[in-house]
Amino acid sequence: AQSVTQPDIHITVSEGASLELRCNYSYGATPYLFWYVQSPGQGLQLLLKYFSGDTLVQGIKGFEAEFKRSQSSFNLRKPSVHWSDAAEYFCAVVKGDDKIIFGKGTRLHILP
């Protein structure tokens, strides 16, 4: 069965600190993977995507993610967070039949 797991419901980091949000997927074939961000009262915005090729992908707002097949992971990173990064982050995977399935999300809190 297809699933996406985001083990951390909440993460708190200080402004300027580095960030890593975890995502694990279960899927037999090479997955298509996404990270989205949702600010309060807004829809979801795509941060980055992985389809194939280079396993380190760059996204908007200074985010990057690394696909690791051996660990079935697609973790999101940012070297230095800003207060405006406080939001909810969703990892998603495309199933073979082109459904996009989302994890439960990780809410990021930023300490001043």
Partner 1 sequence: DARVTQTPRHKVTEMGQEVTMRCQPILGHNTVFWYRQTMMQGLELLAYFRNRAPLDDSGMPKDRFSAEMPDATLATLKIQPSEPRDSAVYFCASGLIYTEAFFGQGTRLTVV
Interface residues with partner 1 (CB under 8 A)? 32, 34, 36, 42-46, 49, 51, 90, 94, 97-105
Residue nearer to partner 1 on the CB measure, 15 or 95: 95
How do strand 100-102 and strand 64-68 relate by DSSP bridges?
unpaired
> Least separation, in Å, of the C-beta of 61 and partner 1?
16
At CA 34, angle to CA 8 and CA 107, rounded to 5? Answer: 30
3-state secondary structure of 74: strand
> Least separation, in Å, of the C-beta of 80 and partner 1?
26
Residue nearer to partner 1 on the CB measure, 17 or 100: 100
Residue nearer to partner 1 on the CB measure, 11 or 94: 94
How do strand 106-111 and strand 10-14 relate by DSSP bridges?
parallel
93: phi > 0 → left, psi -120 to 50 → alpha, else beta; which? beta
Rg, C-alpha atoms of the chain? 13
> Least separation, in Å, of the C-beta of 49 and partner 1?
5
> Least separation, in Å, of the C-beta of 38 and partner 1?
9
